[in-house]
Structure 1
Amino acid sequence: MTEQEQNGNEESEFVIGRHPAIAALRSKQEINKVFLQSDAKGEIIDEIVKLAKRRDLVIQNSPKQKLDQLSQYENHQGIVLAVAAFKYATIDDLFENAKQKQEDPFFLILDNIEDPHNLGSIMRTADAVGVHGIIIPKRRAVGLTAVVAKTSTGAIEHVPVARVTNLVNTINDLKKDGMWIFGTDMNGTDYRKWNATGAVGLIIGNEGKGISPLLQKNVDETLSIPMVGHVQSLNASVAASLLMYQGFNSRHPLG
């Protein structure tokens, strides 16, 4: 019997870490089993156990080595949840999310982000600023994984992610629906002047290559982040955070 068969679901993913586990247990996420490190203690662990029992979930006390293997040696903090594979949204779901909040759509479009930690961090900021959804490509990019879930510290439960076959076609469809698409470029408009009111989509490029040329040709306007230091580039999640917060500022002005 394989490890996945022992866990009771061949389509299992894993949520690791205490705060992500609490977020998953409080959500409607389908959870198959709770793996708890045998010597794990504390108020948060007590809360996890209480939430798991409330949902009548199987709690398996396990040695640290077991949790290390399940989490692929990430920092699991003594807790791993075996959950059903993370579900992706549709583009319509993203628009519906904005409609329910009675807001103009604000989407994030990620062009081949490969690092799960970057995606998790981006999701965390996206949740904080009220992004209505994230769009990622199906190929050559990280998807929704256990590492992404942990790094997002629960945001994965609140920010819908749509996975599409072709980003260029998707962007053109969004433009037909009245969305204004913004990208990044060294020679673009200073991001501090960005007015993100209305229906907007913001493209964040790959960690090393930036936005692909085909996508760049289809943006309505490019934005740049001015830098005066010796290193003329920012981590993808840091750049995304700056831009998302400028979007938030223009959509929610003071006073």
Structure 2
Amino acid sequence: MNIEGKNAVGEALRAGTTIDVLLVEKGTNHPLVAQARAAGIKIQFVDRSVLERESVSKRHQGFIARATEFDYCEVEDILAESKRRGEDAFVVILDGIEDPHNLGSILRVCECAGVHGVIIPKNRAASVNDTAVRTSAGASQYVKVARVANLSNAIATLKKAGLWVFCADMDGREITEFNLKGPLALVIGGEDRGVSRLVKENCDGAVSIKMKGKINSLNASVACGVAVFEALRQRG
């Protein structure tokens, strides 16, 4: 997996991500080079043409780190993280987010809001790939992500642990009417289909975001941001 760009590579170094080799544009004199050397990471100075060929985003800024594949966790690890912090569990579940840019943006939102972990499905959904890592601006190095075969089973596990589970849905009650304090999971649906029927049936309720314009839906990452920061506002 490639990690591209100064910010993403810098966060990977700070988080202790396993990096096999760091490709750096020839002639570059940047603190990241010294940080990588101090961490014992192999550095290769290469022509810009090599970086252009290796880059997925084409916005590498002269740095591409070749890292091990993303290390997913288990749902139980997310719950353990909330206990480690001494906080009520705060989880985001993504139901069918297929665009890795949206996934990366959501990881960034969740990290900023103090979410303990994100749960994604293994099938018909974006994985934490190079694009998601770059879009997350380093957040993917800090947010726990569980990749599960069945979201309904994951929801059952969360409920057994005492979490309330609410999905974002246009037909739900306005989110500000809900008490979002305490152990909580928020489900965000895919870009086109929203939250699937089966997942919705397993939720404790549905929340909506107040709209005033002519367009009645938000991008998934924006909707996630509104929802998690409303929860954060209530939780203090």
State the TM-score bracket (shorter-chain normalisation).
Answer: over 0.9
Partners of 1:64 and 1:78 within 8 A in 2: yes
Structure 1 stretches of 4+ moved >4 Å: none
Partners of 2:94 and 2:120 within 8 A in 1: yes
Structure 2: which amino acid aligns with 1:36?
Answer: V
For the pair 1:36 / 2:36, whether they are aligned, the reply is no
The corresponding residue for 1:97 is 81
Q: Which moved more, 1:119-128 or 1:69-78?
A: 69-78
RMSD of aligned alpha carbons: 1.1
TM, length-normalised to structure 2: 0.97
For the pair 1:18 / 2:2, whether they are aligned, the reply is no
Cα distance change of structure 1 residues 73 and 180 upon mapping to structure 2, 3 Å threshold: closer
Partners of 1:194 and 1:247 within 8 A in 2: no
Partners of 1:129 and 1:245 within 8 A in 2: yes
The corresponding residue for 1:71 is 55
2:137 to 153, 156, 178: 153
1:165 to 149, 155, 171: 149
Identify unmatched segments of 5+ residues in structure 1: 1-12
The corresponding residue for 2:42 is 58
Identify unmatched segments of 5+ residues in structure 2: none
Matches of 2:200 and 2:219, distance apart in 1: 19
| 3-state SS of 2:153 partner | helix
Matches of 1:100 and 1:166, distance apart in 2: 26
1:157-195 C-alpha deviation (Å, 9 max, x unpaired): 111000101001111221122111000221211112232
The corresponding residue for 1:10 is none
Percent of aligned pairs with the same residue? Answer: 38
The corresponding residue for 1:197 is 181
Partners of 1:114 and 1:206 within 8 A in 2: yes
TM, length-normalised to structure 1: 0.90
Q: Which moved more, 1:53-62 or 1:200-209?
A: 53-62
The corresponding residue for 1:82 is 66
Aligned-residue offset at 1:104: 0.6
The corresponding residue for 2:126 is 142
The corresponding residue for 2:197 is 213
Aligned-residue offset at 1:224: 0.7
For the pair 1:244 / 2:232, whether they are aligned, the reply is no
Aligned-residue offset at 1:135: 0.3
Structure 1: which amino acid aligns with 2:52?
Answer: D
Matches of 2:198 and 2:210, distance apart in 1: 24
| 3-state SS of 1:86 partner | coil
